[in-house]
Amino acid sequence: MTDEPNPKMEKLARTKEQWARDGRALTGVSADPAKVRLPPGQRLTKDFPVLDLGVQPNLAQADWTLTVAGQVGHPLKWTWADFMAQPQVTLTNDIHCVTTWSRYDNAWSGVSMRHLLEMAKPFEKAKYVMLRGYDGYSTNLPLADIDRDDVLIAHTWQNAPLAREHGGPARLVVPHLYFWKSAKWLRHITFMEKDQPGYWEARGYHMRGDPWTEERYD
């Protein structure tokens, strides 16, 4: 977000920038996801914490659209009906937040990112994406990190419609990276030749964010 409308959000941003400067929660150890389920420096939680900038858009499905633009052969703008008419998948995965909580076995349903890539046909030169939410949040990722079987745009969590506070009506889920990459209230995907920082990436957080090698900070 370019402007920071509320003091709570301002305080959160300052706190998390300080964590980045301090290298909070860094263990200096890497782990192999094939051998260890919990990434280094993480602790397991059974509840589902809510983390965002304090602005939770109240979006009806009828008001939701997803725009796919930038370096693609077929730019898209999906309405809710278009989105629901795409092939649907259900995937179960673990999520890991940079603030050190992890949550196992989340069942998500929605449209796989590989399907969206087939529809949008990114150009060869497109190597990065920027995701934007209806709250003004943004986060960047290498294209290779969304071109995976486990990445989806989810409208359902644990067999129920995704709650507003968790990004409903639809959010991105990129389970192999820290959860700040999984944009809630997903509005826009831009394909880019060059990488650009999103909201947290411009505030000291890592451009990629692999929890197994603790890519917490820049």
| Neighbour count for residue 164 (Cβ, 10 Å) | 15
Report, in Å, the least distance between residue 48 CB and ligand MTE: 6
Out of 53, 66, 116, 151, name the contact with ligand MTE by CB under 6 A. Answer: 53
Contact between 50 and ligand MTE (CB under 6 A)?
A: yes
State phi, psi for 17 to the nearest 5 degrees.
Answer: -65, -40
Pairing of strands 128-133, 101-112: unpaired
Q: How far is CA 172 from CA 17, 28, 132, 133, in A?
A: 24, 29, 10, 10
DSSP state of 24: T
Helix (H, G, I), strand (E, B) or coil at 137: coil
End-to-end CA distance of the chain: 19
Report, in Å, the least distance between residue 195 CB and ligand MTE: 19
φ/ψ bin of 92: left (φ > 0), alpha (ψ from -120 to 50), beta (otherwise): beta
Out of 20, 51, 89, 119, name the contact with Mo ion by CB under 5 A. Answer: 51
- Closer to ligand MTE at the Cβ: 3 or 32? 3
CB proximity list for 1: less than 8 A, separation 6 or greater: 53, 135, 136, 137, 138, 199
- Closer to ligand MTE at the Cβ: 111 or 162? 162
- Closer to ligand MTE at the Cβ: 124 or 136? 136
Q: Which stretch binds ligand MTE (CB under 6 A): 70-78, 81-89, 108-116, 182-190?
A: 182-190
Out of 38, 97, 119, 192, name the contact with Mo ion by CB under 5 A. Answer: 97
Out of 80, 83, 128, 180, name the contact with ligand MTE by CB under 6 A. Answer: 180
Alpha helices by DSSP H, listed for the chain, are 7-22, 80-84, 113-120
Q: Which two tokens stand for residue 213?
A: 């090698």
Out of 25, 69, 97, 207, name the contact with ligand MTE by CB under 6 A. Answer: 97
Contact between 12 and Mo ion (CB under 5 A)?
A: no
Out of 155, 176, 184, 206, name the contact with ligand MTE by CB under 6 A. Answer: 184
Q: Which two tokens stand for residue 47?
A: 């509840």
Contact between 179 and ligand MTE (CB under 6 A)?
A: yes
Using CB under 6 A, list all residues that contact ligand MTE. 48-53, 97, 133, 135, 137, 166-167, 179-180, 182-185
